[in-house]
Chains A and B, each alone.
Chain A
């Protein structure tokens, strides 16, 4: 179980995280949403020990994470940041092998090879394992990274905007794979996302952040509410129902303003 207690983090005077306490629900996909600059990525950084918070503690299965060794943490949780602008030439297989680093320190054993193969097969990239990363499409590359995380064989997985630069088909495919990982492999996944509809369609739980605080948290049904979303994003949303699922429409704001303007002109 991962628990955050009274996390505060500031860059200079600017409070990025302001007294955030949170328990991450196990065996679920949790979506972390919020406007730009709300502190989502910072929170993800703190949970995954990439950032040391100015104040507060993170507990991993009851142990204060700041007292743990980085390589021990790496056996329990994996993180994938969105900065994938690598200028190194590396094959998919080699990249996925990096996932075994916390377990083998670079000297791969039989078990490691097994896990690497499993991850490659699971992400459906076994047949292109010899290809170089710069020869791949965005979707394939993202799958290669997820395969690396999978090979790391951790209970918790944190992903920072994994859908960036993916078109709809690949984004849906990615989220479906994540859902499968929760169901088949019992993973606990936290994803930072921008698209609320993707969050609503594929996650089990939504955490909403605003100005460094968690403002709302709950099930999809609870969170997909006009009042709540309007408050989170300072925007005028419209919630609709499609096939028994809630969907939000967010591009009517400007239209409404234009309509109002036109009305004024007529008057």
Chain B
């Protein structure tokens, strides 16, 4: 830890700077006079500023929560599957979430309580996600852990398949139903769904507490399955639990900011490169911070440049290139 003191300070302050930039930078570039002399206009302006700040505050909160959830569960997912490249998003978790939402509307109609009530909707979607991910683990992940290229392929197929399935269901759906469905499926970072932020935060705290309790066990699990069992880890129990956390985290994150494929990959691998450790505690903290920086700072820049592109595209570009590099590196050794 000591050797990295400087790095921690830099990353920590970068995180804070990102958040501040996102919250306040618009004031600098705003064409309006934010603090007019006229007292009546000043009051209105102050109201408007507070309004914008509170909206931006919730958005930042949603991004922080999502970044932490994506980064930390990507880290644990990599330990569980014994590789450095795959993340829950790459294997298709977020695509599954969209399909699950579509299936809910299709099965229960959009006027049903399962869809309209954000909490209930979230619960049902998470449970379905859980089922799918456990099934996926049993059928594919467990037996092909070492075959990264194969798993990536499965991820691509799974994402495409579930997207096609979703659009198929959307096609045969009643147009009005379809309209209301887009509220949930077309969520993205520029079109955040912050309505569930108040369950997202406790969910994040629950997942984080559960994960931190098991961090030492995850350290042992990096030795591989046989050795971990030999050292008394109830491997399959820990694995199933971790999948539950991952499914919850991916549901929360995807519901709020939509799918972001490469964020977890960038955050976790950057943290690994910097720290060069197997210990999960520092890795989890650093990858979460890096995730926040990428997401929040990225989005702030996108907004300031007048939405020339989206941060998702930006992250996909950096992350995609990085993944190609990782796959090539992995194959060489």
Give A contacts to B, CB under 8 Å: 45, 48-50, 69-75, 78-81, 83, 86-90, 94, 98-99, 101-102, 105-107, 152
B224 → chain A closest CB, angstroms = 6
Give the interface size class of chain B: 20 to 34
Q: Mark B225-262, 1 if CB is under 8 A from A, else 0.
A: 01101111111000000000000000000000000000
Give B contacts to A, CB under 8 Å: 84, 216-217, 219-220, 222-224, 226-227, 229-235, 276-278, 333
CA–CA, A60 and B276, complex, Å: 40
Contact B234 A50 (CB under 8 A): no
Partner of B230, one of A80, A90, A94: A80
CA–CA, A70 and B222, complex, Å: 18
CA–CA, A90 and B280, complex, Å: 13
> Using Cβ atoms and an 8 Å threshold, which residues of chain B touch A72?
232
Compute the total of residue contacts between A and B using a CB distance below 8 Å: 65
A79-B226, A89-B276, A89-B278 known; A98 vs B232 contact (CB < 8 Å): no
> Using Cβ atoms and an 8 Å threshold, which residues of chain A touch B226?
45, 50, 79, 81, 83
> Using Cβ atoms and an 8 Å threshold, which residues of chain A touch B220?
98, 101, 106
Contact B278 A75 (CB under 8 A): no
List 22 contacting pairs A-B, 8 Å CB cutoff, sorted by A. A50-B229, A71-B232, A75-B232, A79-B227, A81-B227, A83-B226, A86-B222, A86-B223, A89-B276, A89-B278, A90-B278, A98-B219, A98-B223, A98-B231, A99-B231, A101-B232, A101-B233, A102-B231, A102-B232, A106-B216, A106-B217, A106-B220
Contact B229 A88 (CB under 8 A): no
> Using Cβ atoms and an 8 Å threshold, which residues of chain B touch A80?
227, 230
Contact A106 B219 (CB under 8 A): yes
> Using Cβ atoms and an 8 Å threshold, which residues of chain B touch A74?
230-232
CA–CA, A88 and B220, complex, Å: 11
Chain B minimum-CB-distance residue to A75? B232
Contact A70 B229 (CB under 8 A): yes
CA–CA, A50 and B217, complex, Å: 17
CA–CA, A86 and B229, complex, Å: 16
CA–CA, A74 and B277, complex, Å: 25
CA–CA, A113 and B233, complex, Å: 21
Contact B231 A86 (CB under 8 A): no
> Using Cβ atoms and an 8 Å threshold, which residues of chain B touch A102?
231-232
CA–CA, A152 and B220, complex, Å: 13
CA–CA, A113 and B219, complex, Å: 18
CA–CA, A71 and B229, complex, Å: 8
> Using Cβ atoms and an 8 Å threshold, which residues of chain A touch B84?
87
> Using Cβ atoms and an 8 Å threshold, which residues of chain A touch B224?
81, 83, 86
Chain B minimum-CB-distance residue to A85? B224
Residue of B220, B226, B231 with highest tally of chain A CB at under 10 A: B231
> Using Cβ atoms and an 8 Å threshold, which residues of chain B touch A50?
226, 229-230
CA–CA, A87 and B84, complex, Å: 10
Residue of A78, A80, A98, A152 with highest tally of chain B CB at under 10 A: A98
CA–CA, A80 and B276, complex, Å: 25
> Using Cβ atoms and an 8 Å threshold, which residues of chain A touch B223?
86, 88, 98
Partner of B233, one of A70, A79, A81: A70
